[in-house]
Amino acid sequence: MKAHILLADDDKRITETLRRTLAYEGYSVDVALRGDDALRKSLERPPDLIILDLMMPGVDGLEVCRRLREGGNQAPILMVTAKDAIADRVKGLDTGADDYLVKPIEMDELLAHVRALLRRRNPEQTEVLRFADLELDTGTRVAHRGNRAIELSTTEYELLALFMRRPRQVLTRDIIMERVWGYDFEGESNVLEVYVGYLRSKLEAGGEPRLLHTVRKAGYVLREKPETDGAKA
C-alpha cells in the first residue's frame, strides 16, 4: 500500500496540482490550507510524509514543523517555499525539516524527493510489482519473465515500473514523457519509441508473448492481448 501524505500549502492552485499528481502516483493525500489545520490533520491521521509550505497564514511552516517535532512526530518533512536564501533553508532544516524544495516546483523533482524521503524512512521495504508472468523488484530494479532475469537500465526500469503500476491502462505519450523524462525534456522526439523497443526486446528475448502494446493514436498499454480498440504490435 502506498504512503499517506499530508500536503500543507495555502495556495489552492498549487495544492490541487500537487494533490492530483501525488494521487496519480498512488499516494493517499490530505490537504491543509492553514498551519493549524495541518497540525490537526497530522493528529487525526498520522502521515508517512509531510509536504509543508514555509509561508502560511496563522501558524507558519516553521512553527508547524517545530510543534510536530516537539510533539514527537517523526514523519519526514519536505519544506517548500518561494524563498531561496541559504539562511531560510538552514532555518527550516534546523527546525526539523528533512529536505527542501524552492518554488516553482518541478513535479518530477518533487516526486523524486518524496520517494527518497520515504525510502530513507523505510529502507527495508521494497515492492514487487507483478503482471501476468512478469515481475519487477523495486529494490533490486531487476525484472523477471518467468524464471528469466532481465537487467534494466535506469530509464528502462522507470518506464517498466510506470506501466506495471498501471496495468491495462492506456498511457498517452505526453504522460509517459512527463513521468519518465520530465517536463523539461528536450531530447529526440522518438526517444520514447526507441526505449519501448529496447524494453520489448528484453521482455520478449525468451520468445514470450508481447505484453507492451501500442494503441494507435492513443499511446501504450501493458496487457496480455491486444484488444479491438486500435491496439497493434
Higher pLDDT, 77 or 233: 77
The one-letter amino acid at 66: R
Q: How far is CA 163 from the centre of its chain?
A: 13
Cis peptide before 123 (omega within 30 of 0): no
Q: Could you tell me the residue ranges of all domains in the chain?
A: 4-121, 128-232
Edge-first strand listing for the sheet containing 212-215: 219-222, 212-215, 231-232
Is 59 in contact with 15 (CB distance < 8 Å)? no
Q: What is the CATH number of domain 128-232?
A: 1.10.10.10
Q: How many C-alpha atoms does 189 have within 13 Å on its Cβ side? A: 0
Class of CATH domain 4-121: alpha beta
What pTM did the predictor assign?
0.54
Percent of the chain surpassing pLDDT 70:
88
Is 196 in contact with 212 (CB distance < 8 Å)? yes
Instruction: Please give the average per-residue pLDDT across 76-95, as a whole number.
Output: 77
Edge-first strand listing for the sheet containing 134-137: 128-131, 134-137, 142-145, 148-150
Work out the pLDDT band at 51, boundaries 50, 70, 90: very high
Summarize pLDDT for 217-226 with one digit per residue, the tens.
899 999 997 6
Work out the pLDDT band at 205, boundaries 50, 70, 90: very high
CA distance 225 to 88: 54
Higher pLDDT, 204 or 57: 204
Is the pLDDT at 149 greater than 80? The verdict is: yes
Summarize pLDDT for 173-203 with one digit per residue, the tens.
888 887 787 644 454 568 889 999 999 999 9
CA distance 66 to 92: 9
